[in-house]
Amino acid sequence: MFGLLPLIKIQETDMGSKTRAQKAIQDIQQHRPVEFNKAMMDYVNSVLRDARRLCPIGTPFSTGIKGYVGGTLRHSIRLQKPQHIPKGSHVAGRDVGLDFYIIAGGPPFRNPNTGRIVDYAQAVHEGTMKMAPRPFLTMALDMNRPKQEKAVKEYLDSIERRWGGS
């Protein structure tokens, strides 16, 4: 009985959508991350610049030390990969994305007034019982959050546009 059924040919076509999807994926993989990384590095550098600008500088008046030379904490602000942050360092740090932290204090920076490693970044940033917090890193991140959000949104929108055209 089954041998009497006519043979039915099935032909499937994707009308080129598979090829377009493959091309869109290649484009996204090759070009979008480069553009996104550039935008994110611009954001990270803005955070770094603003953190330095907002970091307090000790003076003879603020420290009570005659001839005090300030600015070492400000000069210690830098980008660091998490695995390269010295263990046990008294640093203030915040994650800024792209596998970077922005940190202040710690080795190799030494206070010229004492010769000691700058071990007071966390105390300045978070405050102490005697000193109000000066969260210069957190403030810099907050100021630049719109730039980060814009970079992420543009990246996702560009993927959506490219994918939508496939």
Record the pTM.
0.77
Q: What is the pLDDT of residue 156?
A: 85
pLDDT(166) > 60: no
| Two structure tokens written together for 116 | 């000691």
Q: Provide the pLDDT for residue 3.
A: 54
pLDDT digits (tens, 9 = 90+) for 92-145: 777 777 688 889 999 899 999 999 999 999 999 999 999 999 999 999 999 999
User: Over 80: is that where the pLDDT of 44 sits?
Assistant: yes
Check pLDDT > 60 for residue 165: no
The residue that leads in pLDDT, 11 or 109, is: 109
Q: What is the mean pLDDT of the chain?
A: 83
- For the stretch 55-77, pLDDT in tens is 999 999 988 999 999 999 999 99
Q: Residue 51's CB: how many other CB atoms inside 10 A? A: 28
Between 57 and 88, residue with greater pLDDT: 57
DSSP string for 18-81: HHHHHHHHHHHHHHHHHHHHHHHHHHHHHHHHHHHHHS----HHHH--TT----HHHHT-EEE-
SS (H, E, C) 149-163: HHHHHHHHHHHHHHH
